[in-house]
Amino acid sequence: MKVLVTGGAGFIGSHVAEYFAQKGDDVIVFDNLKRKELLCKSTGDPYHNVEYLKQFPQVNLVMGDIRKFGDLKGASKGIDIIVHTAGQVAVTSSVNDPRSDFEINALGTLNVLEIARLYNASVLYCSTNKVYGNNVNTIPVREEMSRYSFNDERYSKGIPEEFPVDLCGHSPYGCSKLSGDFYCQDYAETYGLRTGVFRMSCVYGERQFGVEDQGWISWFTIAALKDQPITIYGDGKQVRDVLHVSDLVCGFDAFIKSNVKHGVFNFGGGPNYTLSLLELLELLTNLLGKRPQISFAGWRASDQKVYISRITKANKLLKWAPQMRQEEGVSKMVKWLQTHFLEDIPK
């Protein structure tokens, strides 16, 4: 196969590129390497993943911007599959600059779909749990010692794909990602494209350079290793289901190999793979033998007290389920950061 990975130099994109290159597929990594400018902050070397992927002769890096159809078209000749991981990824950045957020996430996705229509390629779209917006916060929750939990048995297995997205706040980021989500669905209906929409929860793992506004598991881990202060917005009992990036990429491959023509999937760790912020800090304390420095600030707009993906649809149709426990995944992240990113930190 010939696989185009938009945002292929990013965290998820680089893992996708590596996976398919190791299978012997030809991989085009399409990226503008502008993460630092989009987030207005960064950790780590922005070229690290590019350098890492150079070990795979099947990977070809093409510099370009998904907002520019000509850039994308020039990189896409003969492609079979597009894994669309490129995007503006932070809620805070979307609030500060909604136009750029829209152009990258909505217009960029439309460009990807038009390229797919041109070459009759399959599209795998990285959507987000933020498409459900503040409707998630209408579910009653109960407060426990270190976390919140849904207090409604209808959601004991998590949020289903049929959960409403209307008549609520989303943040500009949630709106732009939902726009791309709907366009992928409509291109399947209108033009017959094969599309998979993955409404992802918290994906984490090696080669993720998290910052305070995006990639919280990675950011907490980096800050704890470097003895930097961590600010918790809210009380830290917010809960997310978490998914190691290796399980995510296996899920993408499961869709490609399946007979599913089009599907929308909530994609995360599900109810058995969850962490609250406080629980992650306790896990890091146990792994590192020291307690991270933390302080508290007010709740952020559009934050969800609990979000857990119901993954039964992916279990059934894709024969997929996460494999890596959160304790193992965070431990792998710590070891990778110590070895490859924070060489000056004692092992």
Are residues 327 and 244 in contact, defined by beta-carbon separation less than 8 angstroms?
Answer: no
Instruction: State both tokens at 345.
Output: 């930190």
Among candidate residues 125, 132, 148, 173, the one labeled active-site is 173
Distance CA 82, CA 116 (A): 7
- For residue 240, the cross-strand partners are 275, 307
Around 246, how many Cα atoms within 13 Å sit in the side-chain half-sphere? 11
User: Which sign does the torsion angle of CA 199, 59, 218, 106 carry?
Assistant: negative
Phi, psi of 30 (to 5 degrees): -110, 120
Is 148 a residue of the active site? no
Instruction: State both tokens at 27.
Output: 């991989």
Query: Among all residues, which ones are annotated catalytic?
Result: 173
